């Protein structure tokens, strides 16, 4: 039996006749493969788009086919924020705080016109796109987008996770190291 899957940073090649019980691959490929098939979403439901998000969890669309049905309402246990709905300035601070409380690595999906751009609300009360306060990985168009559109976005997010330099990202950046050293000195 032979199996070869080849994508950037997710190369897996296996032939049981040659390798027996051993699989040789790259650390990035294994880490990315695990991460992309165990995304735990934080459902940031702010308006009507959240109903479509709920629909994606039902039997008809069944987001659990992708291993993503474990919606967590604690930011400590989630790694993908799905912003579903209109982000008002009143809520923007809360969205940002919850995003900050999520551990790395973390991703964001802007679901629908409101979350992506403010949608039809060109008003003083509405943030014109959640990417003004947090980085967005995938945008979904539509008002409202259907559950299939959310699933399509999550598949695109999986593709993106599959190309990440996971091992390299484990090493703290210079700025982070300096901050850690400063914090250690103060304490
Ligand atoms: S994009 Fe449309 S459906 Fe979604 S929150 Fe805005 S108004 Fe509601």
pLDDT band of 22, cuts 50, 70, 90: confident
CA nearest ligand 1 atom 5, residue: 85
Residue 8 or 145, more confident:
145
Is any ligand 1 atom within 6 A of the Cβ of residue 145?
Answer: no
Every domain of the chain with CATH number 3.40.50.12280 lies at 39-161
How far, in Å, is the centroid of ligand 1 from the Cα of 25?
43
State in Å: Cα 14 to ligand 1 middle: 46
Ligand 1 centroid – CA 159 distance (Å): 26
pLDDT tens digit sequence for 104-156: 999 999 999 999 999 999 999 999 999 999 999 999 999 999 999 999 999 99
Quote the pTM value.
0.82
> The domain at 39-161 falls in which architecture?
3-Layer(aba) Sandwich (3.40)
* pLDDT tier for residue 186 given thresholds of 50, 70 and 90: low
Taking residues 55-65, report their average pLDDT. Answer: 92
Please spell the DSSP secondary structure of the chain, one letter per residue.
-EEEE--TT--EEEEHHHHTT--EE-HHHHHHHHHHT---EEEEE-STHHHHHHHHHSTTT-GGGGT-----SSGGG-SEEEEES--BHHHHHHHHHHHHHSPSS-EEEEEHHHHHH-TT--STTB-S-GGGTS--SEEE-SSSPPHHHHHHHHHHHHHHHTT--HHHHHSPPHHHHHHHHHHHHH-
Model confidence at 86: pLDDT above 80: yes
Reply yes or no on whether the pLDDT at 182 is more than 90: no
User: Can you give the pLDDT at residue 176?
Assistant: 59
pLDDT of amino acid 173? 64
47 lines ligand 1 (CB under 6 A): yes
Cα of 44 vs centre of ligand 1, distance in Å, is: 13
Q: What is the pLDDT of residue 8?
A: 55
For the cut 60, the answer to whether the pLDDT of residue 187 exceeds it is no
pLDDT the model gives residue 1? 43
């Amino acid at each position: 039996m032979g199996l070869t899957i080849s994508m950037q940073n997710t190369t897996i090649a296996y032939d049981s006749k040659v390798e027996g019980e051993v699989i040789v691959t790259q650390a990035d490929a294994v880490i990315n493969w695990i991460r992309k098939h165990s995304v735990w979403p934080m459902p940031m439901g702010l308006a009507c788009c959240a109903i479509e998000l709920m629909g994606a969890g039902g039997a008809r669309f069944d987001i659990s086919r992708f291993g993503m049905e474990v919606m967590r309402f604690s930011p400590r246990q989630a790694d993908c924020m799905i912003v579903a709905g209109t982000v008002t300035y009143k809520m923007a601070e809360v969205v940002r705080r919850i995003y900050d409380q999520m551990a790395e690595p973390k991703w964001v999906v802007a679901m629908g016109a409101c979350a992506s751009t403010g949608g039809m609300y060109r008003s003083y009360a509405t943030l014109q796109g959640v990417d003004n306060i947090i980085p967005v990985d995938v945008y979904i168009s539509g008002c409202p987008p259907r559950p299939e559109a959310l699933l399509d976005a999550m598949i695109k997010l999986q593709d993106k996770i599959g190309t990440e330099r996971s091992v390299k990202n484990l090493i703290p950046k210079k700025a982070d190291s300096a901050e850690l050293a400063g914090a250690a000195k103060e304490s």
